[in-house]
């Protein structure tokens, strides 16, 4: 039996990149930083490079401390409450910033992003479908 879904946003992503990357904005107080982030449904949280948080004026080390397991080992990070925007959709979320400067990519994970959206992906067509989650 088919299960029809509707989405507000259709986004074609670049298939020459590793992973599915979408434009992202982080907003804290009057500061905004633009970046690209990988869609990662396997990531526990949204994780961003430390320097992006510093650009927003955050004191990274004062956030909620967490240690994340990754294929390359443990990643220490600090969570801060801010506004996360992807493809025109804004959410107040806890976003984590790496404790060190060597994080290679920004990730949109389950807590803070995926749990707030309905997501569809047709990778063969390099198309991402997105809507805010509504009960």
Percent of the chain that is helix, strand, coil (3-state, to 5): 10, 50, 35
**At a CB cut-off of 8 Å and minimum separation 6, what does 58 contact?**
28, 80, 82, 97
**Three-class DSSP category at 88:** coil
The band of 17, judged by pLDDT with boundaries at 50, 70 and 90, is confident
pLDDT of residue 47: 98
Q: Are 76 and 67 within 8 A, CB to CB? A: yes
69-116, pLDDT tens digit by residue?
Answer: 887 788 999 999 999 999 999 999 999 999 999 999 999 999 999 999
135, pLDDT greater than 90:
no
Instruction: Show the domains of the chain with their CATH numbers.
Output: 20-128 (2.40.70.10)
pLDDT of residue 18: 87
Of 46, 9, 40, nearest in space to 131 by CA: 9
């Amino acid at each position: 039996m088919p299960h029809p879904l509707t989405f507000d946003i259709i986004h074609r992503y670049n298939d020459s990149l590793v992973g599915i990357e979408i434009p992202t904005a982080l907003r804290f107080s009057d500061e905004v930083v633009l970046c690209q982030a990988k869609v990662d449904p396997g990531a526990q949280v949204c994780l961003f490079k430390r320097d992006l948080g510093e650009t927003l004026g955050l004191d990274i080390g004062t956030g909620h401390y967490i240690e994340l397991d990754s294929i390359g080992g443990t990643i220490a990070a600090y969570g801060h409450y801010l506004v996360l925007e992807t493809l025109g959709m804004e959410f107040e979320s806890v976003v984590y910033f790496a404790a060190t400067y060597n994080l290679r990519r920004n990730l949109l994970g389950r807590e803070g992003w995926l749990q707030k959206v309905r997501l569809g992906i047709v990778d063969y067509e390099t198309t991402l479908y997105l809507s805010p989650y509504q009960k």
